[in-house]
Amino acid sequence: MTDVLKDAGAQGVARLFTGRTVLADGAMGTMLYARGVFINRSYDELNLSQPDTVRAIHAEYLQAGAEIIETNTFGANVFRLEHHGLQDKVRAINVAGVKLAREAVNQLRDKQAAEAFVAGSIGPLGVRVEPLGKLSLDEAREAFSEQIRALVEGGPGVGADLLIIETMTSLAEVEQAILAARSEAPDVPVIVMVTVDEDGNCLDGSSAETAATKLTDWGVDALGCNCSAGPATVLSVIERMRPVTDLPLAAMPNAGIPRAVEGRTIYMSSPEYMASFARKLVKAGASIVGGCCGTTPSYTRAMKSSLRAMDAMETGARAVEHAVATGTPQKIESKIEPAPLAQRSKIGAMVAAGEFVSMVEIVPPKGIDCTKEIDGAAYLHKLGVDAINVPDSPRASARMSAQSLCVQIQQHVGIETILHYTCRDRNVLSIQSDLLGASSIGLKNILCLTGDPPKLGNYPDATAVFDVDAIGLVNIVRNLNHGLDIGKNSIGASTGFTVAVAANPGVPDIEQEIRRFAYKVEAGAEYAITQPVFDLKLLEEFLKRIEGFRIPVIAGIWPLTSLRNAEFMKNDLRVSMPEEIMARMAAVTSPEAAKAEGIKIAQEMLAEVRPVVQGVQVSAPFGKYSAAADVLGLTVEVA
């Protein structure tokens, strides 16, 4: 467990959400039924009356290779327990469920020094929620809250490490469960999985895409699909969810569609069949896989073996290809250490030394003539600006490549550039190719970005790739800096990049932003550049939240040009804009006065942020480089 993720409040469980493949357990009810427990009993109550049986099942899944085991509490809410006259046992049953799972995990750790995590299982309430049912949203949320309080009771190491809200049929009900989880256990990660029909739609009619989008907006840590009509259906849902969310995906299908055979309900999919789909699910984008109804430890064991073989094949794929082609083995080299940050570039040296860095953003032209941009860079360089930031098709607009403009600025002007590099337009092969080329021609400063989706730009029908997001891109750059390609093969030398990432202190879901920032730092980010800052309180709060894993932060400063510009920033770009600033821009009476007021506001922001950050990036709206110079307080001369 790293200090970075510990300080982010996610603790050791955070590694479950980093994109690596994680194996969860299988069915509890199937195992209890096989042990002779009649289905008319409350399976959740067995935590109290038959604890040894429940604990033994957990142990079997752990021995089979599961890294996540779910508590036997799927139906342990007040409404489902009421059917068995156990409505006053909600806390006792849930606390006991966590205790039994924790004992099994601790026993595994003591015997094998292996790590596993306890997930508090939360199923549907079993009654319809408004508007289609009589149960109010407040009543639903309180029922979930009651169960969640018990599941996390005792805190880290005693209560559940994470919560899995699963087999959900209604997004209205899901939202109340999430609200309860965030209220009762704000620091505990939450996975939410819906169940779908054979067409891949939720049972309330919502599409898989709608479910994924809403769950992402509601701030879960991972989302996906479980139960349903077997692995093939769940696979199709994961394939539909992946393009609309960047969160980790979870997939835990039934062992096929149950069939009645001689009076017994049998799940027909074999462990081997489920294991083959485990690999397909991972290739489709799922990183947390497991089983649901009908699966047993034998399924978990088969899935573990299949996924291990998949990892081995991917790691050695390049070596195998080379051996086939040449008849000689390809050695996979160990990584090398890159030069210290201070030796990689001027900006790296300034960041490493704690010097205040000044950057100005120059946007590439829409055509092939970049004379204005090069002249602007020369003008700013003469005034003493430290570096030029070059965006990569900002807002998905079609422009000259950022890499080309960076090269021309460095060649003609001699000032360092920072290449904004997005994942949107490239698969991992293209990313590696571009970065190797960038390093070879002298570009040493990279800002790793996910990228704006094409629908924001002037060609909304263009497609996006998004093989990886900014976190994955940082990992790729870090490996290249260690002399390793995406297949972990040696490239002979370090690319020597300084690695920057973006941060947005004003984003509505600050919890998600903090979590992703922590992952970026963990992946290898060395400094950060924020979105434009107009609300100092939000920046200060962001800096406070990242204190345990802080890297140097450079604040974005944008000189407004008009009230319309301020409204665009606030409403279209979703930049936090205090009403005071809106009022100041509304009070001016001419375009010239508006520009002057915008520069004054930016100067005030720079003065306020200077004591708490390591530099500023000033934008030059509409190519007005003199405005950027005014903000920085540099002497303006005729270019």
| Binding-site residue positions for Zn(2+) | 227, 292-293
Place of tokens 């982010």: 8
Say whether 447 sits in a helix, a strand or coil. Answer: strand
Q: Which residue has the tokens 């034998």?
A: 298
Contacts (Cβ under 8 Å, ≥6 apart) of 366: 397, 398, 399, 400
Give Cα separations from 380 to 151, 220, 356, 357, 360 (angstroms): 58, 44, 16, 14, 8
Per the CB < 8 A criterion, the answer to whether 57 and 29 are in contact is: no
Backbone CA torsion sign across 478, 479, 483, 485? negative
CA distances from 528 to 445, 517, 544 (A): 12, 9, 15
Q: Which residue has the tokens 């609300």?
A: 535
Angle formed at CA 382 by CA 388 and CA 362, multiple of 5 degrees: 25
Residues 6+ apart with CB under 8 A from 177: 122, 140, 141, 144, 165, 168, 192
β-bridge partners, 193: 224
> What is the C-alpha to C-alpha distance for residues 459 and 399, in angstroms, rounded to an integer?
12
Contact, 498 vs 445, CB < 8 A? yes
Question: Which burial class, exposed, middle or buried, applies to 134 when counting CB atoms under 10 A from its CB (0-12, 13-18, 19+)?
Answer: exposed
Are residues 461 and 514 in contact, defined by beta-carbon separation less than 8 angstroms? no
Token pair recorded at residue 36: 């002779």
Q: Is residue 90 a contact partner of residue 78, using CB atoms and an 8 Å limit?
A: yes
Q: Cα–Cα–Cα angle for 119, 86, 45, nearest 5°?
A: 45
Q: How many helical (H) and strand (E) elements, i.e. helices and strands, does the chain have?
A: 24, 18
In whole angstroms, what is the distance from residue 54 CA to residue 34 CA? 12
Q: CA-CA distances (angstroms) from residue 11 to 4, 16, 120, 133?
A: 9, 10, 16, 39
* Cα–Cα distance for residue pair 277/238, rounded to 1 Å: 12
- Would you tell me how many other CB atoms lie within 10 Å of the CB of residue 237? 31
Which residues neighbour 395 within 8 Å (Cβ) at sequence distance 6 or greater? 452, 456, 457
Element (H, E) at 112: helix 90-112
d(CA 110, CA 272): 31
Dihedrals phi, psi of 447, to nearest 5 degrees: -105, 115
Residues placed in the known binding site:
227, 292-293
Bridge pairing between strands 527-532 and 498-503: parallel
CA dist., res. 499 & res. 494, Å (int): 13
Residue in the structure block whose two tokens are 């290809």: 321
What's the per-residue H, E or C state across 383-445? HCCCEEEECCCHHHCCCCCHHHHHHHHHHHCCCEEEEEEECCCCCHHHHHHHHHHHHHCCCCE
What are residue 389's DSSP bridge partners? 361, 418
Rounded (10°) angle between helices 137-151 and 90-112: 40
CA distances from residue 164 to 94, 177, 195, 281, 535 in whole angstroms, order as listed: 14, 10, 13, 19, 36
